[in-house]
Amino acid sequence: MTKNFEEFSIFDNKGENMEGEIHGKDGKKRTVADETKESIADKPIEKEGGYFVKRYLSQFQGLDHKSIADKIIEKGWGESVARHISQFQGLDHKSIADKLIEKRLGGSVAENLSQFQGLDHKSIADKIIKKGGSYFVAKHLSQFQGLDHKSIADKIIEKGWGGSVAENLSRFQGLDHKSIADKLIEKRLGESVAENLSRFQGLDHKSIADKLIEKGLGHFVTRHISQFQGLD
């Protein structure tokens, strides 16, 4: 059952009005409602978790949306902020993206990148890759504008996540598939080639099998033999 915003407003757990006067932290007289304005969203955030943004954010006009976003991220529900970032008012989208990436939630940034305003997509991709989110950059590559796909593929392979390139090879434009396969095998990431061989275009399967065997990775040929065509 959806809760009403009033459950989280200026009434305490006993239903008593909390608008009495108190002395605030600055020594000035103010109402309890004023004093708790910055923390008024804490209760629904705690109760609703990541669903808070979708269900209640629009009812929190006049509060500091930056503070609310930070609290949701700190609680571990940053994906919800990324997914609904357009609903927040006055956020620095770059700052939010950086916080999410730092908390290893770069996948939520990549997936919802079109909703973030004013970001340098190349910089964001580099940061996500650096934080171990290569798969998300590869999977959501179409969200990134102005990237050199070859450069991105090379960075991901260098980081040891070449499987992300192989698995999402069709999303990369302008790659030399033979060159990519050779790099992956050279980096001893040959299983990602064998497992995804059908995604590579223009390869000589016998040559790939020979290279894997030469590198001591012949067991991957055996494991994924159904992917290879034309072997004796």
Q: Are strands 21-23 and 29-31 parallel, antiparallel or unpaired?
A: antiparallel
C-alpha gyration radius of the chain: 25
Angle between helix axes 149-158 and 177-186 (nearest 10 degrees) is 10
Structure tokens at 65: 């949306």
Q: Where are the domains of the chain?
A: 1-91
Least confident of 35-39, 73-77, 151-155, 183-187: 35-39
pLDDT in tens, 183-206: 999 999 999 999 999 999 999 999
Contact, 96 vs 81, CB < 8 A? yes
pLDDT in tens, 134-143: 999 999 999 9
Number of Cβ within a 10 Å radius of residue 95? 12
66-74, Cβ contacts within 8 angstroms, sequence gap of 24 or more: 66/90, 66/91, 66/92, 67/38, 67/41, 68/41, 69/96, 70/99, 71/41, 71/42, 71/45, 72/45, 73/99, 73/100, 73/103, 73/105
pTM reported for the whole predicted model: 0.76
H-helix or E-strand spanning residue 30: strand 29-31
Grouping H, G, I as helix, E, B as strand and the rest as coil, residue 141 is helix
pLDDT in tens, 21-33: 434 444 544 444 4
